[in-house]
Chains A and B, each alone.
Chain A
Amino acid sequence: MTSYTYRKFKNKLFFWLSLGCVIIAVLPLLSILFEVVIKGAPQLSIQFITKPVGIMGQSAGGIGPAIQGTLILIGLTSLIGIPIGVISGIYLAEYGDNKYADSIRIINGVLTGVPSIVIGVTVFLAAVIFLRHFSPLAGGLALSIIAIPIIARTTEESLKLVPNSIREASLALGVHKWRTIISVDLPAAKSALITGILLAVARIAGETAPLIMTILGSQTFFEGFNQPMDALPLRIWRDAQLPYANFQAQAWGAALVLILIVLSLNIGVRIANRGRLVK
């Protein structure tokens, strides 16, 4: 039997080792935030967020089209992805005690694991060739496909948090089940539901790979649903590959704007939830 001192030492050693692991994981996060702020903040100005992209080799211009494109994509995804995701989540939570629902849950999990680039290729084949153009619609469709399984899952989870007694009270008053779901269950699950949807929006706002082959990227503002469009992640990727310092600086500025959108959604949701729990 090894001595007690040695065992205590080993215990301490592994405490520090596991703490070290945490530090190793947190360092990149801090470095990313630090670099994005240091390199991106000097870029920010009214011109930077409103002007179109400049001419290569000359001035870099602004990222107005990219911000506009990302907002349009978020809007399209909200129109296509959120209703489908929420409704399938309602089915899973309210009727989902059967084999069919179990397989849907597994398929949702599997769809979450499909690489976004594969979704991009599919939407390109199915939609872009059909529309004969790169199109913001195709981009919104690709991002919706990414968002649907995530939203379905959070909808199911938030509806399951609603106490059954509330449901039964409504049904006992003679209210139809569908009215109960819409007027009682969904409002009761509202804040958890909104949290889930906002996190899904934050997730798709940063997606890049499916946009390469659906909206392609552009240097001008939105020109219609049959024209290429820009988006923040796409702008960052294109700029980072250019050998011009001013475009690389623009990439950092765009990264700061994107990370502000994504992290403010994440942190905002977290703070709102904490407030609710304390009450």
Chain B
Amino acid sequence: MRPKLSGDLLFKILTTVLAASAAVILIVIAYTLFTGSLPVLKWSGLYFFTGTKWNAVRMLYGALPYMLGTLVTSAIALIIAVPISLGIAIFLADMAPSALRVPISYLVELLAAVPSVIFGLWGLFVMRFWVVKYIETPLSTYLGWFPAFSGTPFGLDVLNAGIILAIMIIPIVSSISREIIQAVPNSVKEGAYSIGATRWEVIRNWELNYGRSGIFGAVILGLGRAVGETMAVTMLIGNAVGPAAIPISLLKPGQTMASLIANDFAEATRGSIEYSAYIGVGLFLLLVTLSINVIAHFIVARSLKIKGGAVE
């Protein structure tokens, strides 16, 4: 029989090629951002990573304040969100009465479905005033001598951006941590219960210990989310530019890499060095989130695989 191009082969080729679309997209993103940011990297050199001034007239483009802004807001988000997410994961995996598990995990999932811009709107007109009244005013009254809490609380600042980020990453950190905790083999838990451990002791000494690396992966994934989150932060951080954006005080306006692009990129003159500088910030943001996600992927995949295998 003469070999012919069968429907099966055609279909396989079609799906194989289209399956690569994600890879193609990723390469296009990296390539476009790289070529787009070459002018600023040539113009500013190392100053782009170490400089603090952002001045279109004097043609100085230093992105350090925004890198620090992203670092500090994400750190605040993790400090607040990780303990809360672990609490939720523990409650849903082990503590909750079974009737409550489904509705509560559903509510936490709904939190993830709320669009970022609505978090921003709520943060801007509702949460901001609570934070100023109950957190920032006491902080500045009693700890105002400390540089991190200097300034008059107004609500458009680094701390508020960090808090809204914390709320936004709770769903992902808690749901992955919960999966990790639930993947701890029953034999391990039963062994612990059989020697008389209380429920909390089983969680603390066995489950959290066993799932340690997976939970770390969940935290890293949350970090990746916080670093790239744009709209809610843009609406709450106050959008400082230049040296003023260095996040020394949590109660003063700042700027993250993502919020800088969201605010100003569309208005920069095309082809200018300033324009290229925003693209450079985008490239750096891409590299940071890529590395975070790749690391998290391998940690989470490994711990779920090993533990999943042990369950069966």
Distance in angstroms from A244 CB to nearest chain B CB is 14
Return chain B residues, CB-CB under 8 Å to A13.
200
Chain A 231-267 interface 0/1 with B at a Cβ cutoff of 8 Å (1 = within): 0010011001100000010011001001100110010
Q: Would B8 and A18 count as touching, CB distance under 8 A? A: no
Chain A 102-119 interface 0/1 with B at a Cβ cutoff of 8 Å (1 = within): 011011111111111111
Bound CA–CA A176/B134 (angstroms):
67
Chain B 230-247 interface 0/1 with A at a Cβ cutoff of 8 Å (1 = within): 110001000000000000
Q: Would A255 and B121 count as touching, CB distance under 8 A? A: yes
Q: Would A259 and B25 count as touching, CB distance under 8 A? A: no
Q: Assuming the A-B contacts A117-B258, A118-B33, A209-B258, are A32 and B122 also in contact, with contact meaning beta carbons closer than 8 angstroms in the complex?
A: yes
Return chain B residues, CB-CB under 8 Å to A44.
none
Q: Would B115 and A233 count as touching, CB distance under 8 A? A: yes
Out of B92, B95, B111, B230, name the residue touching A115 (CB < 8 Å). Answer: B230
Bound CA–CA A190/B252 (angstroms):
51
Bound CA–CA A11/B293 (angstroms):
35
Q: Would A263 and B121 count as touching, CB distance under 8 A? A: no
A residues 11-32 near B (Cβ < 8 Å) are 11, 13-15, 17-22, 24-26, 28-29, 31-32
Q: Tell whether B170 is near chain A: CB-to-CB under 8 Å.
A: yes
Bound CA–CA A114/B258 (angstroms):
12
Distance in angstroms from B189 CB to nearest chain A CB is 15
Q: Would B111 and A206 count as touching, CB distance under 8 A? A: no
Out of B12, B114, B198, B293, name the residue touching A10 (CB < 8 Å). Answer: B198
Distance in angstroms from B110 CB to nearest chain A CB is 6
Bound CA–CA A202/B86 (angstroms):
27
Q: Would B290 and A114 count as touching, CB distance under 8 A? A: yes
Bound CA–CA A15/B127 (angstroms):
28
Q: Tell whether A195 is near chain B: CB-to-CB under 8 Å.
A: no
Q: Would B95 and A117 count as touching, CB distance under 8 A? A: no
Q: Tell whether A84 is near chain B: CB-to-CB under 8 Å.
A: yes
Return chain B residues, CB-CB under 8 Å to A233.
115, 117, 231
The interface residues of chain A, by DSSP majority, are classed as helix
Q: Would B118 and A148 count as touching, CB distance under 8 A? A: no
Q: Would B265 and A121 count as touching, CB distance under 8 A? A: yes
Q: Would A148 and B107 count as touching, CB distance under 8 A? A: no
Out of A25, A32, A115, A262, name the residue touching B289 (CB < 8 Å). Answer: A115
Bound CA–CA A87/B18 (angstroms):
7
Bound CA–CA A15/B18 (angstroms):
49
- Identify the closest chain A residue to B33 (Cβ): A122
The interface residues of chain B, by DSSP majority, are classed as helix
Q: Would A129 and B270 count as touching, CB distance under 8 A? A: yes
Return chain A residues, CB-CB under 8 Å to B114.
29, 32, 206, 259, 262
Q: Would A237 and B120 count as touching, CB distance under 8 A? A: yes
Q: Assuming the A-B contacts A10-B200, A94-B15, A114-B26, are A262 and B115 also in contact, with contact meaning beta carbons closer than 8 angstroms in the complex?
A: yes
Return chain A residues, CB-CB under 8 Å to B18.
84, 87-88, 91
Chain B 8-39 interface 0/1 with A at a Cβ cutoff of 8 Å (1 = within): 10111011101111110110110011001000
Q: Assuming the A-B contacts A88-B19, A109-B293, A109-B297, are A18 and B87 also in contact, with contact meaning beta carbons closer than 8 angstroms in the complex?
A: yes
Q: Would A114 and B198 count as touching, CB distance under 8 A? A: no
Q: Would B289 and A119 count as touching, CB distance under 8 A? A: no
A residues 79-102 near B (Cβ < 8 Å) are 84, 87-88, 90-92, 94-95, 100-101
Return chain A residues, CB-CB under 8 Å to B199.
11, 15
Return chain A residues, CB-CB under 8 Å to B20.
88, 104
Distance in angstroms from A182 CB to nearest chain B CB is 8
Return chain B residues, CB-CB under 8 Å to A145.
25
Q: Tell whether B211 is near chain A: CB-to-CB under 8 Å.
A: no
Q: 27 A-B Cβ contacts within 8 A?
A: A8-B198, A21-B85, A25-B85, A29-B114, A32-B114, A32-B118, A88-B19, A88-B20, A91-B18, A104-B19, A107-B22, A108-B22, A110-B290, A114-B286, A117-B228, A117-B261, A118-B289, A121-B36, A121-B261, A121-B278, A125-B36, A208-B231, A209-B230, A209-B231, A236-B121, A237-B235, A248-B125
> Which residue numbers of B lie inside 8 Å of A, CB to CB?
6-8, 10-12, 14-16, 18-23, 25-26, 28-29, 32-33, 36, 83-88, 90-92, 95, 104, 106-111, 113-122, 124-127, 167, 170-171, 174, 198-201, 203-204, 221, 224-225, 227-231, 235, 258, 261-262, 265-266, 270, 278-279, 282, 285-286, 289-290, 292-294, 297
Sort A-B residue pairs by CB-CB distance and give the 10 closest, nearest first. A206-B115, A21-B87, A115-B228, A113-B293, A178-B11, A91-B15, A18-B91, A91-B19, A88-B19, A209-B230
8 extra interchain contacts, Cβ-Cβ under 8 A, other than A29-B114, A111-B25?
A32-B114, A91-B15, A101-B19, A116-B230, A121-B279, A121-B282, A126-B32, A202-B113
